[in-house]
Structure 1
């Protein structure tokens, strides 16, 4: 299972990322904009582009992605860490980072 340390390592490897608590759990921000946070030991909250992407992720892998009523109407999805590997985690975090990072920073990242 992916651990909190794996999440931290993958998130902090992304440009302009810092760790700051969010609702009492580790949160990861790009230029002070939250892009991921650990909800509990097995659940990561990440952002997606829009609600249709959220619905598509949940439909494609309901064992991996889910939501709760608290997140209804928000372009964010919950990820079961027990259902992802470290490489998948890095991809999930990168996609969330891309959604929340300033366009200029994303363009610089893509150019490098």
Structure 2
């Protein structure tokens, strides 16, 4: 099971990340772009994810992943249940969401690709 503290520990290692409390929700962002956000009860996490791939992600693990509310479908965003997420998945999802919002040179510098 993954907690907000687990995500926080990872996010703090990602350059240009800042943590914010917005309307009682913890969010991690680069500049003004949010790449990870938690529900108020901290049971679910939303994260940046390519729109054209999210249906496949949800279909592969429907008990773990789900679509955001209809008003947020226009964004590159998917949600998951934290109690069903493992640390390896969390690391990949958070890192890839961060990669979507930083300059390519910074992602290459940090992740080596």
Aligned-CA RMSD value: 1.8
How far apart, CA to CA, are the structure 2 residues paired with 1:57 and 1:23? 28
Structure 2 segments unaligned to the other structure (5+ residues): none
Structure-1 residue corresponding to 2:85: 84
Structure-2 residue corresponding to 1:35: 35
Residues matched between the structures, number: 111
Using the TM superposition, give the Cα deviation of residue 59 of structure 1 relative to its aligned residue in structure 2, in angstroms: 1.1
How far apart, CA to CA, are the structure 2 residues paired with 1:11 and 1:32? 15
Using the TM superposition, give the Cα deviation of residue 28 of structure 1 relative to its aligned residue in structure 2, in angstroms: 0.6
Using the TM superposition, give the Cα deviation of residue 32 of structure 1 relative to its aligned residue in structure 2, in angstroms: 3.9
Structure-1 residue corresponding to 2:52: 52
Using the TM superposition, give the Cα deviation of residue 111 of structure 1 relative to its aligned residue in structure 2, in angstroms: 3.4
Tell me if 1:107 matches 2:108: yes
Using the TM superposition, give the Cα deviation of residue 63 of structure 1 relative to its aligned residue in structure 2, in angstroms: 0.9
How far apart, CA to CA, are the structure 2 residues paired with 1:14 and 1:69? 29
Structure-2 residue corresponding to 1:11: 11
Q: Pick closer, same or farther for the CA change 1:4–1:110 going to 2, 3 Å.
A: closer
